[in-house]
Structure 1
Amino acid sequence: MLELSEISRVLAVLAHPDDVDFGSAGTISSWTAAGVQVTYLIVTDGDAGGFDDRVTRAEMAELRRKEQRAAAEAVGVTDVRFLGYPDGRLEPGFDLRRDIARVIRQVRPDRVLTHSPERNHQRIAPSHPDHRVVGGATLDAVYPDARNPYAFPELRGEGLEAWVAREVWMSGGPTPDHYVDITDHFDRKLAALKAHATQTAHMQDGLEAMLRGWLGANAAAAGFGEGRLAESYQIVNTA
């Protein structure tokens, strides 16, 4: 695993608005606090989310973009990008790989954070089909697409030269091998999630308790001790 001192830029590639905050807002808060530049790339606008039939799908997409930008600010992220793919209908393919590889070449990150492409039978929520598609496409975009100057030659035509992202952190998978203690950043994670009002307003009374239970279990698995909170990842060396 790369040391934090070796990291200047991180690109987080997630399927929907709020995915990055449920999975990684505490970790990202710790990175931005250390001076790391973090960019969010959200593949869909989350237009299939929410619980209010009075809100059109176009209105929902705009609401969720606004919520994601507000959530990003809560953890020190100002660069938030959207690809605009349809929520709930993602499929593996060259277009998605190319679009992610394009942003990798633009941002030139040392580390990429994304979903695990593996189904987690212990916790089904992280295994949403869109999550698994984005995780797989992101790994393919990291290796081999972004680093191969002859993959997607149109990207070189845009002035985007090949780039090697040295490490990928995957969240939500069945076999985590690294834990980040986010106890000191929990308040910022909670604020980020509350910014996603279309997704979390219905559980505001229980949101903090739910998070503390889940993150506390991660911390216990990591051996961090009583009262600590942690987010979990599987790390892939892609140097």
Structure 2
Amino acid sequence: MVVVAHPDDAEFGSSGTVAKWTRAGAAITYVVCTDSSKGSNHPTYDPATLIHTRQEEQREAAAVLGVRTVEFLGYPDGELRADEQLVRDLVRLMRRDRPGVVIAQSPARTLRLTLYISHPDHLAAGEATIRAVYPHARTRPSFPDLVAEGLDPHDVSEVWVVGTAEPDTWIDISDTIDVKIAALRAHRSQLGDWDAETFVRRWTRANGRGRGYAHAEVFKTIRL
């Protein structure tokens, strides 16, 4: 399971790894927390149209990666909070799909990396995801109404955090870098004329430097 704040967050952070996993037969669920209604600076943009466009772009990107399930939680863009309702929504999906690994955005702001990584929605999504994993997804008294619906507690084995300045896990995506770039290109409303390929290749090449990888994605891994 991959939990992010906005469409395209997963493609930037972890899509090379996700492509490797789906190739190996893993079933992946994407969870997008916000409605992405503020993802434009055009003076006459229509929020409802943008929401639809960004959802379609996310579905297209997911299909490129082999991800078959995409959930949109629809929280207001730019206003995400790691509150009880968001945690509950994530617990519901974790108990339903029972992932072994959850990829989460970092809940901690870092000034060592670009501020784009520490968007407030990213921090809130990360905090809510980690709270959902532990303690709530695995704890029967948490959200007893979910148990009444047949959603029994589930123990996630690992959380892989993206957007951290202190990674401890490097994944070789040399064989999936082209798929990562193809998935990113689905987000046409956000990329515009920007050359994402040059940026992504430079970034992932820097991640792999010193590890013997042509391209890599990096994570902080938490084992429970």
User: Shorter chain as normaliser: what TM range?
Assistant: over 0.9
Aligned to 1:93: 83
2:64 to 69, 74, 80: 74
1:50-61 equivalence runs, <5 A: 50-61=40-51
Q: Does 1:164 align with 2:155?
A: yes
| Cα offsets for 1:47-96 (capped at 9, x unmatched) | 11034333311111110000000000011111001100011001121111
1:211 to 182, 200, 214: 200
Measure, in 2, the Cα distance between the counterparts of 1:82 and 1:51: 22
- Secondary structure of the 1:134 match is helix
Checking the alignment, whether the CA contact within 8 Å between 1:116 and 1:136 is kept in structure 2 is yes
> Offset at 1:13?
0.7
Measure, in 1, the Cα distance between the counterparts of 2:48 and 2:148: 33
> Offset at 1:212?
1.1
- Secondary structure of the 2:212 match is coil
- Secondary structure of the 2:102 match is strand
Checking the alignment, whether the CA contact within 8 Å between 1:39 and 1:77 is kept in structure 2 is yes
> Offset at 1:22?
0.5
Q: Does 1:129 align with 2:120?
A: yes
| Cα offsets for 1:110-153 (capped at 9, x unmatched) | 11011011112122211111111111111110001010011011
Aligned to 2:212: 224
Compute the RMSD of aligned alpha carbons: 1.1
Aligned to 1:8: none
Aligned to 1:3: none
> Offset at 1:31?
0.4
Q: Does 1:235 align with 2:221?
A: yes
- Secondary structure of the 1:130 match is helix
Aligned to 2:107: 117
TM-score (norm 2): 0.97
TM-score (norm 1): 0.91
One-letter amino acid of the structure 2 residue matched with residue 233 of structure 1:
F
Checking the alignment, whether the CA contact within 8 Å between 1:168 and 1:235 is kept in structure 2 is yes
Q: Does 1:15 align with 2:5?
A: yes
Gaps of 5+ in 1: 1-10
Displacement over 6 Å in runs of 4+? none
Gaps of 5+ in 2: none
Measure, in 2, the Cα distance between the counterparts of 1:207 and 1:39: 24
Checking the alignment, whether the CA contact within 8 Å between 2:204 and 2:217 is kept in structure 1 is yes
Measure, in 2, the Cα distance between the counterparts of 1:127 and 1:35: 32
- Secondary structure of the 1:87 match is coil
**Aligned sequence identity (%):** 42
Aligned to 1:4: none
Measure, in 2, the Cα distance between the counterparts of 1:92 and 1:19: 17
- Secondary structure of the 2:135 match is helix
Aligned to 2:135: 144
> Offset at 1:41?
0.7
- Secondary structure of the 1:113 match is strand
Checking the alignment, whether the CA contact within 8 Å between 2:2 and 2:10 is kept in structure 1 is yes
One-letter amino acid of the structure 2 residue matched with residue 164 of structure 1:
D
